[in-house]
Amino acid sequence: MSKIEVDCIFCGKGSKRIAWEENGFTGKRCECGLLYVSPRPSLQEMTEWYNSKEADLSARSRIESELLSRLNGRHRLKLLRKYQSNGRLLEIGPGGGYFLDESRKAGFEPFGVELNLPQAKFIQEQFDIRVESVSFSGHSFGGMPFDIICHFDVVSHFYDPISEFINFNKRLNEGGLLFFETGNGGDLAQRWLKFIGRLQYPQHLFLFSKKNIEQLCARTGFEIIETYQYSIYLQLVLVKLFGWVKKVTKRLISRGDARAVSKNSLEIRKKHSLWKVLPLKSIIFLNYFIRYVIGRFLPRFGPQTIIYVAKKVTTN
């Protein structure tokens, strides 16, 4: 895999301050707060990754996580409908397509851009929603204008976020909305990055501060009209707790009956792990509740996920 040196997309300057290293890639922090991968893979290599074996495994997981995706989607739609209740809605990176399906039920006309072919095929066959599997451009969907463009935890994957946002602006109707969600990784001190433990390099090319997102929108013709901030600290603690319990349970089981584990690990897990005490649906609802209900009222420190509502104000 080739590696290309890049500078901060906002300041145009290179940084020597290394904030994170993972999978052979380096994350550098700019004075403006942006955390970006440099050197990084080429655009072609990043595009090819979306149909790699690793991406297909991730796609399968997204398709299988229907309940959580629908819960998250309904929450997002509840917020979106405060500003727009119908119209053409495009989602970039829809995964299993559950938000698009929920948006259609809510009165929108859904479309999707999904680079992973298995996910795109699933959405089209399961929900009969029009999906394109090439990068979004002025030619996508025949140049059709949209009223809303959405993406959730996707902006960190964009190879050129400024160009992407300019394209969004061009394809939105006047007064159209850009509705998206991302974390505040650029605002996090080193101790918080260590607490998170994994930044998913090189798939995540950028981690933005809140100020960075404001810069990105201002430069590309968008005005942020509302933000919804949620602390994900407790959610991360929950994930770590269940990860620890899973390891301990697996270790105890392997000591007691290693042969049985290898033959029927699913049945052993059901009998001996927390899955017996806490059904999967309960864990999913708990995950959702901690993220979007409790997280809304927790002190705003540490890792956050932020939903941005931005309105098109100019045509670039």
pLDDT, average across residues 175-181: 97
pLDDT of residue 85: 95
- Is the predicted pLDDT of residue 2 greater than 80, yes or no? no
Q: Tell me the per-residue pLDDT of 187-218, one tens digit each, with 9 for 90 and over.
A: 999 999 999 999 999 999 999 999 999 999 99
pLDDT, average across residues 226-233: 97
Computed over every residue of the chain, the mean pLDDT equals: 90
- Is the predicted pLDDT of residue 282 greater than 60, yes or no? yes
The full DSSP string for 296-309 is: HHS-S-SSEEEEEE
Q: Tell me the per-residue pLDDT of 100-158, one tens digit each, with 9 for 90 and over.
A: 999 999 999 999 999 999 999 999 999 999 999 999 999 999 999 999 999 999 999 99
Is CATH 3.40.50.970 the right assignment for the domain spanning 43-233+299-312?
Answer: no
Q: Which sequence spans correspond to the domains of the chain? A: 43-233+299-312, 234-297
In order of 94, 117, 120, 200, the CA distances from 132 in angstroms are: 11, 9, 7, 25
Torsion over CA: 55, 61, 63, 66 (sign): negative
- Is the predicted pLDDT of residue 243 greater than 80, yes or no? no
Lowest mean pLDDT among 55-59, 207-211, 255-259, 273-277: 273-277
Pick the most confident of 63-67, 257-261, 267-271, 304-308.
Answer: 304-308
- Is the predicted pLDDT of residue 261 greater than 60, yes or no? no
- Is the predicted pLDDT of residue 316 greater than 70, yes or no? no
- Is the predicted pLDDT of residue 315 greater than 80, yes or no? no
**Phi and psi at residue 160, to the nearest 5°:** -135, 85
Q: Contact, 20 vs 198, CB < 8 A?
A: no
Q: What angle is formed at CA 232 by the lines to CA 212 and CA 36, rounded to 5 degrees?
A: 35
pLDDT, average across residues 275-282: 64
DSSP structural state of residue 51: T
